[in-house]
Chain A
Amino acid sequence: MMDMLLTIAIALLGGAIKVSTPFMLVALGECLTELSGRINLGLEGTLVLGAMTAYGAAVVTGSPWMGLLAAGAAGMVLGVTHALLCQLPRVNDVAIGIAMMLFGTALAFYFGKPFIQPQAPHLPTIPLGEWLTHLAGIQSPALAAALEINPLFLAGIALALALAWALRNTHVGLIVRTTGDSAAAARALGISVNGVRLACTAVGGLLAGFGGAFLSLVYPGAWNEGLSSGQGLMAVALVVYARWQPVRCVLAALLFGAAGALGTALQAIGWTSGLYLFNAAPYVLTVALMLGIGRGRDNDRQRQFDAPGELSTAR
């Protein structure tokens, strides 16, 4: 029994680290975009297009790093497109987001057809688990495999810390928060509201593109059309759950990752019935968390300032 629990725990840990990375990258990007006062629901499309572009570029060039760059660039283009469309008068960012989501996905499927078969080189991983188990003198290949960390995971955590710091301690950070909380105030200060949002949406797209590269070049590590299955959308929900705080975005992503790994973890101990149901855990979690947000308000006076004032969903 202990063995089983340990196996599940290790599988969940490894799953959390692997599965959480795209959640984390998309959520951090969306967090920044939303803090500037705009919602980009198109990140699901960006994620898929990023995955396809990364895979395609890696196949063609033979370098996974070129794939990563190409995915970031593709994401950025989609982000900039979204931002530019939203600047037009009487255009709603949510509607544009949905259109961009469908557009990105369709584009990826269209150009991705030739890349479903060939093998692309993967991004290298850091064998942290091997070092640790070796140091600790434990014989556990499962643990070693679980702690095989990819560089994007570490980059995501570093980015979250940097973002949280920058939002409080840099002039640019204050400008982003000002724009997100009150466009009128930002204009009165001579800040270009559209410019700030363009930059933040572009960075959001870039990060989502990186998230897509992770899907096709690390885990699961191949390109197919069912690769994302709504992870980009869940990441958007996750930002709300994280109350627009980058570090909480990381924690929430780990939680979603662990939920996503539940099915695999149960398989590891030989449980096979109702696997599809367990694979739905992240979706159930999304709904449960969203319901939970309405409850248990510890301090309303403070929490009313968590959500950027300019966000249409916050009203």
Chain B
Amino acid sequence: MSKAFGDVMAIEDVSMDIAAGEFHGLLGENGAGKSTLVKGLLGFHLPDAGRIAVDGTPVAIRRPADAHALGIGMVYQHFTSVPALTAYENLLVSRSHSSAVINWPRECKAIRGFFAQMPFTVPLDVPVGLLAAGQRQKLEILKLLYLGTRFIVLDEPTSVLTPQEADEILGMLREMTVARRISVLMITHKFREVTTYCDRFTVLRRGRTAGAGAVSEVDTSTMARWMVGESAAAVAPIDALDRSSDNTACAPASPSRESALELIDLRADNDLGIPALDGLNLRVRAGELVGLAGVAGNGQTCLVGAISGQLRLRGGQILIHGKAYEATRRQAEERGVRTLPEEPLKNGSVARMSVVENLALRTFDRQPAANRWGWLKSAVLRDHAIGLIDEYRIRAPSPDAPLASLSGGNVQRVVLARELSGPVRVLVVANPCFGLDFLTAAQIRDELRAQRDRGVAVLLISEDLDEILMLSDRVAVISRGRIVMEADADKCDRMAIGAAMAAHDHQADVATFAASH
């Protein structure tokens, strides 16, 4: 199969053969062409060349309905169930051939009968938006099975799940493939998932097949080399990634005794007015890197917002080196508090301003960038920016290009460069490597380590447990807006962290909701 968008070949002569009952892994970096490939399979666009055969018969998949009719379905990274509808309603609306008036007693009975044959189930009569991520993911899969799907495409299915949920769901799908009820094609970048669940795999790189084989015959370092090409520098962090599960993180520099960042009983509501931070306590010492793990949506965003000053606290206190901190611009400057929020293009920069302007956001209004009356000196801003662009190897069309025109990794570098360009004593970063290629991720992780070694207190908030285990001196777990576990990184294991991440007892919410209806 081949597909070009304009002049860019997204995929070129990619071939893949998946047997019935096979669990196939599709590996590749961002932009390698994985989603172009599966979108062609699902009928979202027509390939320029190539063909698809199902059960040995060539087929034409021109639109999503064609794929659906052939029993091909996909679980997207973003859930496609409707939050305000219940699971019953979601299942019914997804079925194309429903009667106009719904006979609820009969339909509910049929759905319950179907669920009884499935290896897992979800609460059926509460709005889907109230379900935990794992349950919603299960519902997506159940929906496909309910619609008679035999070939399921999974797009990075575990990115929103705890390790336990991921293992449970992938394990059940694995059992179903072994029983030859379904076949699975899974897009992933986690080698652990490939080696644990897949029979065979294909690696894409820059739109071409870089390698393929049986999981039992190829080791992960070969897979990694296929993914990133032959650059040795890029492979190094992957070895670290694989080792991280055995907890051989770099030896921590000796942190001082004094807390540089201290969060005391933080309480705050999110923008829906729902409590998101519920008495959070955490200390980070100078020269220490604390990794905060947790499933997305447990208060991480609010925590970053509270420290960066984007969110007002309802209670509690932030201390920087023992002094109360109000997160004003002046205090952030004086105390050296810097943040790299997640999705920095949206949360930490002005997308339509130029790279120069974005790099100057912290300093543009004081000398030497501005004179006494607030008049900006564009030459100074520009020199400052060009210096940082060199130092952080930022690739931009021009220093005056709008920030939004840069790639994700370069936006991340711009914001990091800006945040680190003054004296830094406390650094808070959220998902700094999300969606970045290996090389960029490795550079950013090195920078975080370097800051820690320089005596900066670093709080790393991440949904990537491997990243946390790889970098942290100490690990904390956030769940429902509180710290539910704290331990030295060399004394904790994946499963214990996963159990703490899942501590959020979702059943309670669901039960409350059901009772009130």
- Chain A residues with CB under 8 Å of chain B are 169-172, 174-175, 177-178, 181-182, 184-186, 188-190, 297, 299-302, 304-305, 308-309
* Contact A302/B516 with A188-B80, A297-B273 known, Cβ cut-off 8 Å: yes
CB distance from B81 to the nearest CB of A (A): 6
Q: List 16 A-B contacts (CB under 8 A).
A: A169-B101, A171-B100, A175-B93, A177-B89, A186-B82, A188-B64, A189-B80, A189-B94, A190-B63, A190-B64, A299-B516, A301-B274, A301-B512, A301-B513, A305-B83, A305-B129
Contact indicator per residue, chain B 445-471, by CB within 8 Å of chain A (1) or not (0): 000000000000000000000000000
- Chain A residues near B513 (CB, 8 Å)? 301-302
Interface of B is mostly: loop
* Contact A181/B104 with A300-B273, A301-B274 known, Cβ cut-off 8 Å: no
Cross-chain contact A300 with B274 (CB below 8 angstroms): yes
- Chain B residues near A174 (CB, 8 Å)? 85, 89, 92-93, 102
Interface check B116, CB cutoff 8 A: no
- Chain A residues near B96 (CB, 8 Å)? 190
A170, A175, A177, A182: the one contacting B101 at CB < 8 Å is A170
Cross-chain contact B102 with A190 (CB below 8 angstroms): no
* Contact A301/B84 with A169-B102, A171-B102 known, Cβ cut-off 8 Å: no
A169, A177, A302: the one contacting B82 at CB < 8 Å is A177
- Chain B residues with CB under 8 Å of chain A are 63-65, 68, 76, 78-85, 89, 92-94, 96, 98-102, 104, 127, 129-130, 272-274, 509, 512-513, 516
CB distance from B56 to the nearest CB of A (A): 27
A175, A188, A300, A302: the one contacting B76 at CB < 8 Å is A188
Cross-chain contact A170 with B127 (CB below 8 angstroms): no
**Cα–Cα, bound, A160→B80 (Å):** 30
Cross-chain contact A301 with B130 (CB below 8 angstroms): yes
* Contact A171/B273 with A185-B82, A301-B509, A305-B84 known, Cβ cut-off 8 Å: no
Closest residue to B81 on the A side, CB-wise? A185
* Contact A181/B100 with A300-B272, A302-B516 known, Cβ cut-off 8 Å: no
CB distance from B258 to the nearest CB of A (A): 40
* Contact A178/B93 with A185-B80, A297-B273 known, Cβ cut-off 8 Å: yes
Cross-chain contact A305 with B101 (CB below 8 angstroms): no
**Cα–Cα, bound, A181→B512 (Å):** 23
CB distance from A188 to the nearest CB of B (A): 4
B63, B85, B99: the one contacting A178 at CB < 8 Å is B85
- Chain A residues near B98 (CB, 8 Å)? 171
**Cα–Cα, bound, A47→B273 (Å):** 36
Cross-chain contact A181 with B102 (CB below 8 angstroms): no
Cross-chain contact B99 with A171 (CB below 8 angstroms): yes
**Cα–Cα, bound, A177→B79 (Å):** 16
Q: Other CB < 8 Å A-B pairs besides A174-B102, A300-B273, 5 of them?
A: A174-B93, A178-B93, A190-B63, A305-B84, A308-B84
